[in-house]
Chains A and B, each alone.
Chain A
Amino acid sequence: MSETSSEPTRYLDAASSEPLHPAARASLLAALDVGYADPRRLHHDARNARLLLDNARAVVAESLGVRPDEVTFTGSGTEAVHRGLLGLVRGRPGGTASIAHSDVEHSAVLHAAAWSGVATRVVPVDRFGRVDPEALHEACDETTVVALQAANHEVGTVQHLPALTGAAQQAAVFVDACASMGRLPLPRTWSAAAGSAHKWGGPAGVGVLLVRHRAPWVSPFPADDRVDHRATGFENVPAALAAAAALQAVVAERDEATARQHALVDRVRAAAAAIDDVDVLGDPVDRLPHLVTFSVLYVNGERLVAELDRRGFGVASGSACTASTLEPSRVLAAMGALTHGNVRVSLTRDTTADDVERFCRALPEVVAGLRS
């Protein structure tokens, strides 16, 4: 982008993709040389690959507090969402199923629901993006598969899953944990769940599908004859191992990182709220530690992103002001939030207090410049 700034680039878009964790890099490089063989074969090199894959599975299981046989590596978080949700739909007893999902789910859930062909109900949320338990209760019956996120990818709001799944009657529960996996403890109440490695500092191209032991899950896609019957295609053993190493490290560092990032995000929330006519979004307390979203009245979101980028800050936006036909963020719309002038700031594990202070100083100047 622009080279007019002498400041170093500060990447504040970890919610789109966290830079590779050093533990992942070390594991990936080591495994590239020894994890190439087909883990299904019986010879020496294959046994090495199989050992690495089993080790990756065991590490992910331990990090998440689940059984190793509940862990499947997929090609992406999106694939894990599709397989998790659609497999529960296909596994509903009696062959009839419906889907209920919140109005702030990731598009992967919406696309899977639309593709499934079954009846789908959308459950509204409040201004913070929290699902209404009564509305969820009314949307569910014993045929329903309910899809709920652990935390929202755009505004960070954490859902109260135990209360919600209690309200979901006899529904099977799919939890999209892509935004929170590694950063927050995994909720307990699910039949299937999904995560995405590049969002916790693993490599891209690795998703984690969790299917609860004995859950009524049936693969929604053509089968394969690989190590894990829930997945298809040749296993990416080095990437799975790197994803597992990053997850283990992130969970080990979690208490410290959560406290530090939560406080830094509070600082950004306060700085944004101090500017006139800024809507700071999402649950202020019960939220992802590293993420904040706000909307700036009377400002074009893309211009805000471009101007912050010019000053060296890389942020995301849910606005769509470049064409009248572009739909703004569904999440913001569902919450009744202002959709223009939107910015999402998400801290990496290496974002410092100085980085945040510099952003907080630049933001009012950038907003004033764009409003004048």
Chain B
Amino acid sequence: MIELDCRGLLCPAPVIELARRIGEVEVGGLVAVVADDVAARYDVPAWCRMKEHEYVGEGAAPDGVPRYVVRRLV
């Protein structure tokens, strides 16, 4: 798994970062996006639907910032 620190980035930057880095994991691998931008809560799952990846779910980083986990499928 890789973790992308997108704290302080505004939309659509966290999703752009996710798209840029998803290829760094194997198919079936996980990418976590740590983002305090509120749009990421909706846009990471929407990106997964549009790009045919799996949205695994939301957790939190140790500092409480939301952490969105994606599984690469294609």
Q: Enumerate chain A interface residues (CB-CB to B < 8 A).
A: 277, 279, 295, 297-300, 319-328, 332-333, 336-341
* A336 near B46: Cβ-Cβ < 8 Å: yes
The answer to whether B46 touches A321 (Cβ under 8 A) is no
Stretch of B6-14, B23-31, B56-64 contacting A (4+ beta carbons < 8 Å): B6-14
Contact of A299 among B12, B38, B46, B47 (CB under 8 A): B12
Query: Taking the complex as formed, is B70 at the interface, i.e. its CB lies under 8 A from any CB of chain A?
Result: no
Q: Which size bracket describes the interface of B in this complex?
A: 20 to 34
Chain B residues engaging chain A, CB cutoff 8 angstroms:
8, 10-12, 15-16, 19, 36-39, 41-43, 45-47, 49-51
Is A337 a contact of B46 with CB atoms below 8 Å?
A: yes
Are B42 and A297 within 8 A (Cβ)? no
Report 24 cross-chain contacts, Cβ distance below 8 Å, ordered by A residue: A295-B46, A297-B12, A297-B47, A298-B15, A298-B16, A298-B19, A300-B11, A300-B12, A319-B11, A319-B39, A321-B10, A321-B11, A321-B39, A323-B10, A324-B8, A328-B42, A332-B42, A336-B45, A336-B46, A336-B49, A338-B43, A338-B46, A339-B39, A339-B42
Complex contact A277–B46 (CB within 8 A):
no
Majority SS at the chain B contact face: helix
- Identify 5 new A-B residue pairs, CB closer than 8 A, beyond the known A321-B12, A339-B11: A322-B10, A326-B38, A327-B38, A338-B42, A340-B15
Chain A residues with CB under 8 Å of B16's CB are 298
Measured between beta carbons, the chain A residues less than 8 angstroms from B51 are: 277
Closest A residue to B35 by CB, please name it: A324
Are A328's CB and B38's CB within 8 A? yes
Closest to A337 in B: B46
Do the beta carbons of B39 and A279 come within 8 Å of each other?
no
Complex Cα distance, B37 from A333, in Å, reads 14
